Amino acid sequence: MTLAFRVSGRVARPVHDVFEAVADPDQLSHYFTTAGAKGRLTTGATVIWDFADYPGAFPVHVVDVEPDRRIVLRWQAADGSAEAGETTVTIEFEQLDEGRRTLVTIAEEGWRESDAGRQASYGNCEGWTGMLCAMKVWLEHRINLRDGFYI
């Protein structure tokens, strides 16, 4: 069994606005990285994402960026083992409704096939689903859904 998942949601904003909400660290820090993001998502970059509700800052390796279409990232698989390796996250952006809405799809894969790997994948699936919800509410209503949600 391959440990992987895919989540998606629609945001009532043009694709460029939604892409920028992920690629721009200042915007990402408003609704997702509760302790801040450092570095713009550009191909070949390593950026830092920090979450106040999850200890430590995380290096995120940017594998590929196609503006307004796709972002591919790699980061440490958090299954608590030294052998965990990295997972690959692919975020895709699709324009809908003549540019009025955007479909965002996030897929992640690459955990070890173990109980710890499964638990880590479930946690990340929950996290990316929360990110999509928080991004939608932030972009459409300027409400920080994560504020006080986890801590």
In a domain, residue 86? The reply is yes
Residue in the block written with tokens 């929360």: 130
Give me the average pLDDT of each 10-residue run along the chain (151 residues). 90 98 96 93 97 84 98 85 81 95 97 88 93 96 84 70
* Residue 40 domain flag: yes
60 located within any domain: yes
What is the pLDDT, as a whole number, of residue 81? 61
Report yes or no on 149 lying in a domain.
no
Specify if 136 maps to a domain: yes
Task: Evaluate whether residue 69 is within a structural domain.
Answer: yes
The CA distance from 24 to 44, in Å, is: 15
- Residue 147 within a domain: no
Residue 135 lies in a domain: yes
H or E stretch covering 63: strand 54-66
pTM reported for the whole predicted model = 0.93
Domain count within the chain: 1
List the domain range (segments joined by +) for residue 125: 4-141
Q: Closest Cα to residue 99, out of 21, 16, 7, 33?
A: 16
| Domain CATH for 16 | 3.30.530.20
